[in-house]
Chains A and B, each alone.
Chain A
Amino acid sequence: MLRALVASTAFTGSVGAKVRDPGEDLVATYRALGVRITRPTADRDAANALLWQVDGLGTKPFDWPRPDGQPVDNRSWASPSRLLASMDVHLSLCGGWWPDEGINYHRPAWWLPKSPIRFDLLVDHLSQVILHRHSTSQLLEACCLAVNLGPHERITRDHPLVRWDMPRLLTTFLDSPAFLTR
């Protein structure tokens, strides 16, 4: 039966049309940002804190109170409140602000494949790293708006973008339709 399901046109047609639920969103965010977490020794450690993060997004693993299981649909996870919660978690992780123990984040300059690099090429690079696809004109425009830069801006390791605004740039990818679906 599983083979039949996977072979169906409905299965292939659903790619990119399914909303990531809280667990999927959080795990994908940790993966996309390449953060490393260590074995926890205190409540505050990331390995514990991520449970509170996912709870804030909607529900923790195995926490659904009813025997019918947590919903596997789009509507249940597409609400204004969930979107606000997701954007909050995304930005917090992009900035490396919380969790702040038992976790190693990449430094902002790590995201530059070379220095200097033109901003539009950086956006395309990040799109491939985070979203596994090339950038689009719409995504580039959104990134330009997010950090108030033009597409041809020359980015170096000591550019204000790297010094201050990398979280705002990174979270633009995580808050995009491409990231919140699977």
Chain B
Amino acid sequence: MTEPCCPEFARLSRRGLFSGAVALAGATTVIGSAAITTSTAALSPAPAVLVVLSLRGAADGLSLVVPHDDPVYYSSRPGIAVSATALLRPDAKFGLHPELAPLLPLWDAGRLAAVHATGLPAPNRSHFSAMEEVEDADPGSDVRTGWLNRLIGTDTETSPLQGFNVGGGVVPTSLYGPQGVMSASDVGSVRISGDDKWDTTKGRRSSLHRLWDDDRTTLGTAMRSMFSALDDFAPVRGAADNGGAYPRTDVGRALSEVARVIRGDVGVRVITVDQGDWDMHADLGTAERGWLRDNTRDLAAAIAAFFGDLGDQTDKVTLVTISEFGRRVVENDSGGLDHGYGNVMFLAGAGVRGGYHGTMPPLTGDLDSDVPVTTDYRSVLAEVVSKRFGASTAAVFPRFTPEPVGVMTSA
């Protein structure tokens, strides 16, 4: 019997990440297979908000954005290829998977972009290792600091609300580091248990203050930071919960929490959401039914709902999707795809120059054929970092010289 996803990913998807492992970093929220993390400091309003949605397990970019002009794509995938006639918004080379239809309003407004053939500078087919490499984004360094933690470290703010992970357990590597962040599965769980309506004297809080206010250890610092972050977080709890407008799925619920955090306008700059379940070694399905089609439909509906739920914060928010790697060109005997290399990244929202980007060379159809990487994923992220945050790309991506991608407009 074939395992539909590989054993390594099955272990990883159960991984316990640090519960906001970094003192004062941000907050992480985990919702089922989707985990949300954000970061903030008593915080000035966020000049821009970046939501990084990780499609864990490695989504198949060739199915999401199909290079329909390449006959090798069709000859390599007799059972799972998406027909050229079904593609949405085709140009001479690419077309969108039909289940991305909920995103067409964004696409037509020039606010959604797809950058194809992106990835690491060299192939890495281990989920955990590639995830670490992508999110650390500082190859050769043994310092455990992710690129999003470096990004929130480029200003003078120190609140743990700068970064927020919506999910449970450990914050992703991208957000891990010396800057404090928060992590929670939902807005409602960012609270002190026992600090409730039955505690009429507010004794729970004052008791904790008595125990910790004089404590000069790392834990004491974290406790004070927690108090400050909770107080600053109050407007988020007051923000409307519009979860009913989203798919009732992990990613739908997670993005509804993200939108709530953003509408709270408490200064959160960076939010991470982990969404699992893209490791389709077997039974990937077709454009009409099956695993990938269901995931794609869910993803598109959730992102569309999210951009309809940002209120007056809409012009601040950019969303990026990323996977640890892409999948093979050639379909395997189990109707799935094994670990590959190059992949597509989606960018949506503020500052995005819509449409297709990236260079896709002709595919080859051998068993070991990958989508080559023609754009280092850091070049894409560097454009977001510099155009949206005005941050130094050298500080966020050390020892890396970005190449122009053109997916972000000038600020």
Contact = CB atoms under 8 A, between A and B. Distances in A.
A59 B15 contact: yes
A102 interface: no
B15 A58 contact: no
B207 A79 contact: no
B157 to A, nearest CB: 15
A72 to B, nearest CB: 13
Given A84-B226, A171-B194, A66 B128 contact: yes
A146 B204 contact: yes
Contacts, number: 164
B65 to A, nearest CB: 29
A32 interface: no
Contacts of B206: 145
B91 to A, nearest CB: 39
A74 B220 CA distance: 11
A81 B182 contact: yes
Given A80-B180, A177-B212, A75 B22 contact: yes
B85 interface: no
Contact of B19 (A17, A56, A63, A71): A56
Contact of A58 (B23, B169, B220): B169
Contacts of A87: 192-194
A78 B178 CA distance: 12
B220 A79 contact: no
B222 A58 contact: no
Contacts of A76: 18, 21-22
A106 to B, nearest CB: 19
Q: How large is the interface on B (under 10, 10 to 19, 20 to 34, 35 or more residues)?
A: 35 or more
Contact of B23 (A78, A142, A145, A168): A78
Given A147-B203, A177-B220, A79 B20 contact: yes
A171 B18 CA distance: 23
B203 A148 contact: yes
A176 B23 contact: no
B21 A58 contact: yes
A85 interface: yes
B210 A58 contact: no
Nearest to A167: B194
A82 B229 contact: no
B168 interface: yes
A152 B93 CA distance: 81
Given A19-B219, A75-B23, A145-B206, A168 B194 contact: yes
Most buried by A among B201, B217, B222: B222
Contacts of A80: 20, 23-24, 27, 160, 180, 182, 222-223, 225-226, 229-230
A57 B23 CA distance: 14
B23 to A, nearest CB: 5
A75 B179 CA distance: 11
Interface of B: 11-12, 14-25, 27-28, 128, 131-132, 160, 168-171, 180-184, 189-194, 199, 201, 203-204, 206-208, 210-212, 214-215, 217-223, 225-226, 229-230
Given A65-B128, A83-B226, A142-B211, 17 more contacts: A19-B218, A55-B16, A58-B19, A60-B14, A74-B218, A79-B23, A79-B183, A80-B160, A80-B226, A81-B27, A81-B171, A82-B222, A84-B184, A90-B193, A167-B194, A168-B199, A168-B203
22 contacts: A55-B168, A58-B18, A59-B17, A59-B170, A63-B11, A63-B16, A65-B11, A65-B12, A75-B21, A76-B21, A77-B18, A79-B19, A79-B24, A80-B222, A80-B226, A81-B27, A83-B223, A92-B193, A142-B207, A142-B208, A146-B203, A168-B199
